[in-house]
Amino acid sequence: MTAPGAAVLREKLLTKPTGGTFGGVLRSELTKLRSVRSTMWTLLVAVLFVVGFGILIGAVVDPNSQGRDFDPTQASLSGIFLAQLATGVLGVLVISSEYSTGMIRTSLAAVPKRTVLLLAKILMFGLVTFVVCTAAAFIAFFSAQALMGPSISAGIGDPGVARAVVGAGYYLTYIGLLGLALGTLLRRTAGAITALFGVIFVVPIILNVIPVRWINDLAPYAPGDSGQSVLTVVHRTASDALSPGVGFLVSLAWVVGALVLATVPLSRRDA
């Protein structure tokens, strides 16, 4: 048995860094993201959907049969409707896979402040998804416009076009962050994915199907529709969609609200 105090004989191998740890926690979350295959696959799928659909639509669109309502920018970005499945799932997995594998206990033993851990996940996942998806959106836009031909295509310098292309990256990140919030709240992959796509796909149907005018009027404010309106360049006359600016603010309120809501039980519950 060694006498207490023998610690002084041991040479410390490491010196504790001074200052905060948040930069380190961010780097740690980037390592977590890039070191599992599901991240790479889901992001690749998202890119393929965005770019592939852009090319497909650019190739098949008939320039002579498009009316004044045709939005060449939005059309070239239609891949987001499929890609959102990938980024939504990835957003859920960023946190739910930690719970399902037990990694969360190891993570919290290294970063015990739970809101700090969640904030690092939000920022790192959001940044990576936004950069990748925005890049994919630009590729989709330019390839589609080139294929459509000059008579109907949009230029990146036209009013609202660049905003819409960046908006596609925003929308996919937004869906991912909603998934991250739901994954944090529910902790279960399947439950969170079901809830996420229920909110995006089913809520608008319900709002439109109820024969009450003021309920129908709420539909554009739903999480999915409000986020999608960021991609609009040519406003359809018959559409009651929100303007891109309002849509952006409403969707931002949804995602910030969901993430704030998710932090409350995160700190209170046992991990």
Partner 1 sequence: MIEARGLTKRFGSQLAVDDLSFDVRPGHVTGFLGPNGAGKSTTMRMILGLDHPTAGNVMVDGKPFAQLSHPLFEVGALIDAKAVHPGRRARDHLLCLAQSNGIRGSRVEEVLALVGLTDVAKKRVGKFSLGMGQRLGIAAALLGDPEILMFDEPVNGLDPEGILWIRNLLKWLAAQGRTVFVSSHLMSEMALTADRLIVIGKGRLIADTTVSELTSASAGASVRVVSPRADELSTLLGTRRAVIARNGDGALDVTGLAAADIGDLAAAHGIALHELTPKAPTLEEAFFELTKDQTEYTTGVFPGAEGTAAPPGPPPATPPPGPGPTAGATR
Which of 75/122 has CB closer to partner 1?
122
Listed in sequence order, the DSSP H helices in the chain are 22-34, 37-60, 72-76, 80-101, 103-110, 114-148, 161-186, 189-197, 203-209, 213-216, 223-228, 244-268
Which of 94/250 has CB closer to partner 1?
94
Shortest gap between Cβ of 261 and partner 1 (angstroms)?
Answer: 20
Which of 115/243 has CB closer to partner 1?
115
Which of 8/60 has CB closer to partner 1?
8
Which of 5/157 has CB closer to partner 1?
5
Shortest gap between Cβ of 98 and partner 1 (angstroms)?
Answer: 7
Shortest gap between Cβ of 189 and partner 1 (angstroms)?
Answer: 13
Q: How many whole angstroms separate alpha carbon 228 and alpha carbon 213?
A: 22
| Contact set with partner 1 (CB under 8 A) | 1-10, 12-14, 16-17, 20-21, 24-25, 27-29, 31-32, 35-38, 97-98, 101-113, 268, 270-271
Shortest gap between Cβ of 144 and partner 1 (angstroms)?
Answer: 35
Shortest gap between Cβ of 257 and partner 1 (angstroms)?
Answer: 25
User: Residue 173 to residues 53, 80, 118, 193, 254: CA-CA distances in angstroms?
Assistant: 18, 11, 16, 15, 13
Q: How many whole angstroms separate alpha carbon 68 and alpha carbon 152?
A: 10
Backbone angles phi, psi at 41, to 5 degrees: -65, -45
Contact yes or no for 181/92 (Cβ under 8 A): no
Which of 98/225 has CB closer to partner 1?
98
Shortest gap between Cβ of 107 and partner 1 (angstroms)?
Answer: 8
Q: How far apart are the first and last CA of the chain?
A: 36
Structure tokens at 177: 């962050």
Closest CA to 224 of 245, 250, 246: 250
